[in-house]
Amino acid sequence: MADTDLRMPDVQLQTPQHEELLNIIDTLRSLGIGRYVDLPQIIVCGDQSSGKSSALEAISGLRFPTKDNLCTRFATELILRRAPVASVTVTIIPAPDCPEEIAKVLSFFKPPSNSIDEFAKIVLAAEEAMGLNGSNKVFSKDVLRVELCGPTQPHLTLVDLPGIFWAGDKSQSDDDATLVRSLVESYMKKTRSIVLAVISAKSDLAMQVITKLAREIDPQGLRTMGIITKPDLLHADSDSETAFVKLAKNENIQFKLGWHVLKNRDYDTRHTTRAERDAAEEEFFDKRVWSSALMKSQLGVATLRPRLSRVLLAQILTELPGLVQDVGSELQNCKDRLAQLGEPRGTLGEQRLYLLKASHTFVDLMRSAVGGSYFDAFFGSSETSEGYNKRLRAVIQYKMAAFAEKMTKEGQDVQIVDEKIAAQFRGSSFKVISRDKYLEQVTERMRRNRGLELPGLFNPSIVGDLFYEQAKPWSSIVGDTAEELVNSVRTTVDLVLDRSADSVTKEGILRHIILPNMDPICDKLYSKVEEVLRPHVRGHPLTFNHYFTENLQKKRQKQTSASVMAKLRSFFGLRASVTDEQIIQPSFSLKNLVKTLVVESELDMEKFASIEALNAMQAYYKVALKSIVDSFGMYAVEDCLLQPLPEIFSPEIVFGLKDEVVTAIAGESQEIAAEREDLEKKLESLQRTMHTLARLKTLKSPGKDYSVPRKINRG
């Protein structure tokens, strides 16, 4: 735009002490960093017709449209910059969700005038460009950006936002109300923005929603200043005037930045000069209660400008450390994403090279995940769910320990316990049987399966029958655990692929490489599970482990000791109070004692055989339990599932892919190419920003004081 006919108002929104600091913020904004991190700015918001634009006009000196029924239909960003030569640039920034064709048209918007005095005409032209015709479209999320440069301009950003309203009418709908509120809230939630919450004295305070929003979004009021407009519409000494005076004194709604009162132009005085406007404002406050009730620094635009300057400076100084941190974080994220996207992949060679790099990353990370070596930054914190799921070895160890515990506690089809314990579980769903009752079932089973064995002995096959029934839950426990482990593996593989390739290429790698190579691994795992289970679900029990005979002997000794002790107690007629350890010296017949110990009836011999069969089954169960837990872990989980994982996406596989498959997987889409282009621009902007922020280290050099008083005024 030409530099002709530009009369730039001297706004005086800064002091010499912080000019250099504001220069840095201005430089950052010119680099476009505001697209990625929030920068300090002042936003003017309030209910519809609350006097927002008038307040902004008073602060900036820029004349906004002044039709009585006109309200702000879009956000207007007013960027004031210091420059040796006066200039003005007016552009429209399309909304993020604006269709590409419309966005392109808006980006070429040319204002109808070069004169800043005709800003109202520029606003109306912008409305037309945005399609705001008052019928089909009333409000827009597009932004009118006005950059004013000149030797006396400050470095500052002011934003005028559409007014909030609750209900629609003929000119604006309920949907429009939702859109406007969403837009205003999005600006207010930017934590580095100073919120000027404009309240009209013309309306009941309870009916104005802006203060409620401000307290919700900025609950401590740290970055909100209240602005009361139209105080001249209050009757002198009225209850309403008293209420608004109390509000301005911070006695009702409290903001740490306090309140300020402005008397702006109304429709009748819309053509008065800036000097006339300021004089009328000063005269009004001198004649009314405001000047006696409030500090002078809270009244009028002349004191508001330096007050805002101090507030903005304090906000900038507070936010600078966080700004540096956010830029650094965005820079690292940008680098990580570009590294993930890799180099451009327009040719077959570039595509295969990308897959090779992705496969190397995958193999390295998967080996670390399986091997329990979590030093790479990829693994993050184990305190998070994602960080834990990346640690596959830790997940496997936990699930295998849980598997072993479940097999021990729930592996038996029925719990064989003493009569007293069994009685406690009668009527419950827990499968418990007394030992005597179970022995009766064993005896009956032996009678029905008797072979050529002599009386008092048992058919060896009975041990297998008892064991296979007792080990029924094993199949489901082992099968469920195998399924859980496969799901854990798939989760880790998915997370490793997220680091190895971009999201689009990742889907191709999954479809063409990972899933086809995972299927044989899963098939082998489930086949090995069946193999491990097979000896424990059918056939004849077999073991060469001495642990079996040790268990069997221990059971025999325990039961024999109990039987002998019971017979001795009966023979000697001992009372229950006599312990097993006490020494007795009675007179007795050795012949009768021996007879008592050794005489067994024919029924006792059958019971003895049942006991022996039960003991053999329980001894074998313990041996088999240890065997299957270890076999499942070593031969199924380790050998079949985990060991081959790093090789399911190896460089060798990539080398063997056909050309058309490589292109199908790694061929770059238009979306990825566009994303890379945007990221490269973002990277450049962020790197230049970091270079600019390096100047902050020299800001607090001797002789420069950027401190800000903690208390601005009594408000």
Relative orientation angle of helices 546-572 and 602-631, to the nearest 10 degrees: 150
Q: Has residue 436 been placed in a domain?
A: yes
Sequence-ordered list of residues with C-beta below 8 angstroms from that of 187, at least 6 positions apart, any chain: 43, 45, 75, 159, 161, 193
Q: Has residue 624 been placed in a domain?
A: yes
Residue found under tokens 């460089």:
651
Lowest mean pLDDT among 129-133, 220-224, 252-256, 580-584: 580-584
Model-level pTM greater than 0.85?
A: no
The answer to whether the CB of 531 falls within 8 A of the CB of 478 is no
Q: Has residue 68 been placed in a domain?
A: yes
**What is the tens place of the pLDDT at every residue in 528-571?**
999 999 888 776 666 655 555 666 556 655 656 666 666 666 66
H helices within 573-650, ranges in order? Answer: 590-598, 602-631
Highest mean pLDDT among 61-75, 422-436, 641-655, 658-672: 641-655
Give the 3-state secondary structure of 173-217: CHHHHHHHHHHHHHHHCCCCEEEEEEEECCCCHHHCCHHHHHHHH
Q: Has residue 705 been placed in a domain?
A: no
Neighbouring-strand partners of residue 144: 76, 92
The whole-number average pLDDT for the span 416-422 is 73
Distance (Å, whole) CA 338 – CA 110? 35
For residues 353 and 454, state if they share a domain: yes
User: Tell me, what's the pLDDT at 39?
Assistant: 84
For residues 379 and 406, state if they share a domain: yes
Distance (Å, whole) CA 621 – CA 624? 5
**What is the tens place of the pLDDT at every residue in 433-446?**
888 888 888 888 87
Beta strands in 34-86 (DSSP E): 41-46, 75-82
Query: Is it the case that residue 10 has pLDDT exceeding 80?
Result: no
The whole-number average pLDDT for the span 68-95 is 73
Expressed as residue numbers, the domain containing 281 is 40-322
For residues 301 and 354, state if they share a domain: no
Q: Is 677 in a helix, a strand, or coil?
A: helix
Neighbouring-strand partners of residue 92: 144
For residues 622 and 677, state if they share a domain: no
Q: What is the CATH number of the domain that holds 507?
A: 1.20.120.1240
Written as one letter, the residue type at 712 is: I
Which pairs with CB-CB distance under 8 Å and at least 24 residues apart come from 401-406? 403/477, 403/478, 403/481, 403/629, 403/632, 404/629, 406/477, 406/481
For residues 245 and 360, state if they share a domain: no
CA angle 128, 134, 135 (to 5 degrees): 120
Q: Is 698 in a helix, a strand, or coil?
A: helix
Distance (Å, whole) CA 123 – CA 110? 11
Whole-number Cα distances in Å, 390 to 361, 373, 394: 14, 11, 9
H helices within 456-589, ranges in order? Answer: 461-470, 473-500, 503-509, 515-533, 546-572
Lowest mean pLDDT among 286-295, 450-459, 474-483: 450-459
Q: Has residue 32 been placed in a domain?
A: no
Q: Has residue 1 been placed in a domain?
A: no
- The residue among 276 and 429 whose pLDDT is bigger is 276
For residues 113 and 177, state if they share a domain: yes
**What is the tens place of the pLDDT at every residue in 16-75?**
546 677 767 767 766 667 778 888 888 889 988 888 888 888 877 777 765 544 456 788
- The residue among 558 and 355 whose pLDDT is bigger is 355
Q: What is the CATH number of the domain that holds 184?
A: 3.40.50.300
Written as one letter, the residue type at 564 is: V
**What is the tens place of the pLDDT at every residue in 334-351?**
888 888 777 788 889 989
Round to the nearest angstrom and report the end-to-end CA distance of the chain.
Answer: 43
Q: Has residue 28 been placed in a domain?
A: no
For residues 339 and 299, state if they share a domain: no
For residues 674 and 651, state if they share a domain: no
For residues 384 and 281, state if they share a domain: no
Lowest mean pLDDT among 47-56, 633-642, 652-661: 47-56
Q: How confident is the model at residue 177 (pLDDT cuts 50, 70, 90)?
A: confident
Distance (Å, whole) CA 166 – CA 209? 9
Lowest mean pLDDT among 117-126, 168-177, 249-258: 168-177
Q: Has residue 713 been placed in a domain?
A: no
For residues 120 and 242, state if they share a domain: yes
- Any idea what DSSP says for residue 580? T
Q: How confident is the model at residue 459 (pLDDT cuts 50, 70, 90)?
A: low
For residues 173 and 64, state if they share a domain: yes
- The residue among 709 and 248 whose pLDDT is bigger is 248
The whole-number average pLDDT for the span 672-679 is 82
The whole-number average pLDDT for the span 400-411 is 93
Query: Is it the case that residue 108 has pLDDT exceeding 50?
Result: yes
Q: What is the mean pLDDT of the chain?
A: 80
Which pairs with CB-CB distance under 8 Å and at least 24 residues apart come from 674-683? 675/341, 676/338, 676/341, 676/344, 679/334, 679/337, 679/338, 679/341, 680/338, 682/35, 682/36, 682/330, 682/334, 683/331, 683/334, 683/335, 683/338
The answer to whether the CB of 7 falls within 8 A of the CB of 62 is no
Relative orientation angle of helices 515-533 and 473-500, to the nearest 10 degrees: 160
Say how many domains are in the chain. 3
Distance (Å, whole) CA 163 – CA 160? 9
For residues 674 and 629, state if they share a domain: no
User: Tell me, what's the pLDDT at 696?
Assistant: 63
